[in-house]
Structure 1
Amino acid sequence: MIHNTFLVRVSNGKVLASTQYWPVDVKPEEVVEFVETRLELRSADSSMQEIPLIIGDDKYHGIEVVSDLLLIFVTDTSEDDHAIFERMEDAAKPLRRTLEKKGLSKLVEDYETLVEPSVTTRLKIALVGEGGVGKTTTLHLLLGDTPPKQYVPTIALNLETVENIRFGNYSLVLWDFAGQERFRTLWRFYFHGADVIFLV
């Protein structure tokens, strides 16, 4: 689980931007300790690849955006390092582009928006059931919308990203499947990759 991210100027250890996805407080001195320890390790062995460091109760991962800017992800100690570094590479690309095209101040201003797609995990939730049982009504209620007063059958699929329900670095994508008999042969294709399936 990615708790926090930081954009740090390596030369002075200053945090330029940060995000917090879970209520895990990261002490500023731990960020400085990570930056300094990483710098010492890399100066002792210039061929050293990026390695995570455990400081306190968290694991710190760092990757250079450019020579003096470091992107840091703070995670649980049990997180898979390879998966985190892949996400960091994905996050560093738009940071580099923004820095090159619009400068550091715009990068800092847009930091959260630029990093979030690489940090957020989308959960695919499928709502399935017979026609007219309330799948679309459930979807409308989750979205904070007024459900339809009359039955309007869903044709094939209704796909929505839930913006008003967020927890940590997870976002919800709800798949509302048509319940009519003629669409049931498509269900197996829609189920692919679903994290949760609700039978309504």
Structure 2
Amino acid sequence: MNKLADIRNEYNKGFLLRGELHPCPFQQFDKWMKEAIKAECNEPTAFTLATVDSSQMPNCRIVLLKEVCDDGFVFFTNYDSCKGNELATSEKAAINFFWPELERQVRIRGTIEKVSEQKSDDYFQSRPRESQLGAWASDQSTKVNNSDDLHQQYTRLKNEYEDKIIPRPQHWGGFIVKPVSIEFWQGRSSRMHDRYQYSLNQSEWIIEQLAP
């Protein structure tokens, strides 16, 4: 078995030039997301969500992006979960997209808010019924005695809502990350990666190149 320190790849699939950047980071993100989808990257909408708890201990997990709007990046979760409570307390988060097939990542830091109840309702109703039932059946992040209890709860709810519209639980809904900085990273050979950071200055985005 090779030593972990001996595992390395050479990045040579692209480059990112200052003159090619869109002045708006959301438009630049949209361009890269479309290219990730076209390249059939595995789970292109998946990102790492980083939060901190009350003792400032960081937490991270993978979440799926569901919308990009003029204000930020939207995802949905259980508000009573570990991440939901941490987001509500700190009102700040960092997210990171990584598309290894394109040797690209996007790092985003910002403030966080709940989306409107209407937006949460609309998205919940667009989900498969199995996912809707799962949002009711699972008290996310809480301890369980065994898997059978979860499956019994799911089955009970499935029978209860048979042939009925499943309402959105009040403990489930969307968050929006409103960025204050967005960095676009393109892997390059010899570790001389291209890095450009958009920083929000009042209502204007300032672009700066960062050393790799």
Bigger helix fraction: 1
Scaled to the shorter chain, the TM-score interval is under 0.3
TM-score, normalised via structure 2 length: 0.26
Report 1 or 2 for greater relative contact order, CA contacts < 8 Å, sequence distance ≥ 6.
2
Larger radius of gyration: 1
